[in-house]
Amino acid sequence: MRLDHLFENELSVEQAESDSPRTFKMWHGSKRWDGSPEIRSPRAGRYEAGPGIYFTTNYETARRYAKGGGSVMLAEIDMGIKLAHDVMIPIEDAVSFVKSAPRMKHKKEIIADLRRNGSRRDSTSIFSYVLINLVVNYEAGSGDAGIALARF
C-alpha cells in the first residue's frame, strides 16, 4: 500500500481515481496515524469496534476524522489485497488463537460459536471475518486482544 500526504488543495473524486487498473484509492483521516500503519491499543476508557485502519471514499468524511491537528491521506490500495471475506482459516487455528489471545473475554463462547459455524457448514475452515465478527460481537477485542487479532 502506498500512502501520499495531501497538500492544502482538496482533490476531487476524479483526481483521486487511480492511474492503474490494478489499484483503487481511498481517503484516511486521523489524529492517531501518520505514515506507516501501526497497530496499537485504544486510549484508556475507549473501546474500538474492531481492528483495522478505516478508509472512506469521501474526502470530507476523512477530513472530519482528522480535525484538530490530524492528517488526511490518500491511500492507493492494490486490487489484489486479501480481505477478511476472502481468506479461509482452519477452525482449529482460530480456536488456538482465541485460547492464546491475551486478556480476551468470552473465550469459551467464541470457541463454541466457531465450532458451531463449522458444523453448520460441514467444514473444517471458516472465513476470517467470522472470527473477527465474533470477537466484535462479544466485545472481546479491546486492548491487547484486539492487537493480537489484527496481527493474527
Task: Identify whether residues 54 and 98 lie together within a single domain.
Answer: no
* φ, ψ dihedrals at 54, nearest 5°: -95, 130
pLDDT score of 17 more than 70: no
Helices (H), 51-143: 59-65, 91-100, 107-120, 128-137
Does residue 28 lie within any of the structural domains?
yes
- Cross-strand pairs, 24: 77
Residue with cell 457448514: 121
Task: Identify whether residues 34 and 99 lie together within a single domain.
Answer: no
Does residue 73 lie within any of the structural domains?
yes
Total count of domains within the chain: 2
Q: What is the pLDDT of residues 120-151, one digit of tens each?
A: 989 999 999 999 999 988 988 888 888 888 88
| Element containing residue 5 per DSSP (H, E) | strand 2-5
Task: Identify whether residues 25 and 60 lie together within a single domain.
Answer: yes
Task: Identify whether residues 72 and 123 lie together within a single domain.
Answer: no
Domain that holds residue 6: 2-78
For residues 95 and 23, the model is more confident at 95
Q: Are 123 and 90 in contact (CB under 8 A)?
A: no
